């Protein structure tokens, strides 16, 4: 029985996820749309409790201030924590794209005075760029990253065998190292969750806050719907935002459309297009 219930829940979650992913909206608004049903649900429960069953005067809004403050502090700390990695992540697509283009330029420069055919360089770097692109969009696994790094190292070895000068080879090795470090850093950020205990505490506190929004009394009839609706939307949105920012390389999520919190991949995309053109 429990297996059937779990399967039903999993299917329902996937169905809701596919529904939101299919909406023709920008990824920047997707988190808002995901948070909106929660805010509406809180307002519906509030109406049922206070007007359907006539349950009032359970607690005032000021009574919930301590919990609201605690939840806000925890959400703020989690947001600050993931933003530290996010700021670093913004630089990585540029490092990856720049390293690929530099390797291409340096490899050609190393053989420019040797009278050697350099036609083999670009296709092999294009294969490396293609592998990285597929990996960033979650079409291949992490095991492809060492293979891409290996292809770059093999290319440098072949350039050396073809008579590449020492000066260029040294710079090639530096660029290959920078590329490898950037790729490994992307992998770590994608696969590591920021403070799991913090996520659990944040989720619990936000859930308690939403429950309190159902229970508290408001002196103003109009303000209760506006304030409760806005705060429910804000807390739910921040919870989803922190989780989204924790993986700023989720380009393969949401049916390949990525997320509004993903870092700009344009520097790598331009390098990829140039090498594969």
Give pLDDT tens digits for 1-37. Answer: 444 543 443 444 445 455 555 555 566 688 888 899 9
CA–CA distance from 74 to each of 9, 59, 83, 232 (Å)?
29, 23, 14, 16
Q: 245 and 83 in contact (C-beta within 8 Å)?
A: yes
What pLDDT digit, counting tens, does each position of 106-146 carry? Answer: 999 999 888 888 999 999 999 999 999 999 999 999 999 99
d(CA 118, CA 129): 18
User: Of residues 220 and 228, which shows the higher confidence score?
Assistant: 228
Please write the tens of the pLDDT for every residue from 62-92.
Answer: 888 899 999 999 999 999 999 988 999 999 9
pLDDT of amino acid 8: 43
pLDDT at res. 52: 86
pTM: 0.82
**Which structure tokens are listed for 190?**
């994608």
- Rounded to whole angstroms, how far apart are CA atoms 13 and 228? 26
The SS3 assignment for 122 reads: helix
Cα distance from N-terminal residue to C-terminal residue, the chain = 55
**CA 148 to CA 82: how far, in whole Å?**
28
Burial of 54 (0-12, 13-18, 19+ CB in 10 A): exposed
| pLDDT reported for residue 11 | 45
Is the distance from CB of 242 to CB of 86 less than 8 angstroms?
Answer: no
Show me where the domains of the chain are located. Answer: 26-85+196-245, 90-192+267-276
| Rounded distance between C-alpha atoms, residue 223 and residue 235, angstroms | 18
State the average pLDDT over residues 216-229.
86
Which pLDDT score, from 0 to 100, does residue 29 have? 81
């Amino acid at each position: 029985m429990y297996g059937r219930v779990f399967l039903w829940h999993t299917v329902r979650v996937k169905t809701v996820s596919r529904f939101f992913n299919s909406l023709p909206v920008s990824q920047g608004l997707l988190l808002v749309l995901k948070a909106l049903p929660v805010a509406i649900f809180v307002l519906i429960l509030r109406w049922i409790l206070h007007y359907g069953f006539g349950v009032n005067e359970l607690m005032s809004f000021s009574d919930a201030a301590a919990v609201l403050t605690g939840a806000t502090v925890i959400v703020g700390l989690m947001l600050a924590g993931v933003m530290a990695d996010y700021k670093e992540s913004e630089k990585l697509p540029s490092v990856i794209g720049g390293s690929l283009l530099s390797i291409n330029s340096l490899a050609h420069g190393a053989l420019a005075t040797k009278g050697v055919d350099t036609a083999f360089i670009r296709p092999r770097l294009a294969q490396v760029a293609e592998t990285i692109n597929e990996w960033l969009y979650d079409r291949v696994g992490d095991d492809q990253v060492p293979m891409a790094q290996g292809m770059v190292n093999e290319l440098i070895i072949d350039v050396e065998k073809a008579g590449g000068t020492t000066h260029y080879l040294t710079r090639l090795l530096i660029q290959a190292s920078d590329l490898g470090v950037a790729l490994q850093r992307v992998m770590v950020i994608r696969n590591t969750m920021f403070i799991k205990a913090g996520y659990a505490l944040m989720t619990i506190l936000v859930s308690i806050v939403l429950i309190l929004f159902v229970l508290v009394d408001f002196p103003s009839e109009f303000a209760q719907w506006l304030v409760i609706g806005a705060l429910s939307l804000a807390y739910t949105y921040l919870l989803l935002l922190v989780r989204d920012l924790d993986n700023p390389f989720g380009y393969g999520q949401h049916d390949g459309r990525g997320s509004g919190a993903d870092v700009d991949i344009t520097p790598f995309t331009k390098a990829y297009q140039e090498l594969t053109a």
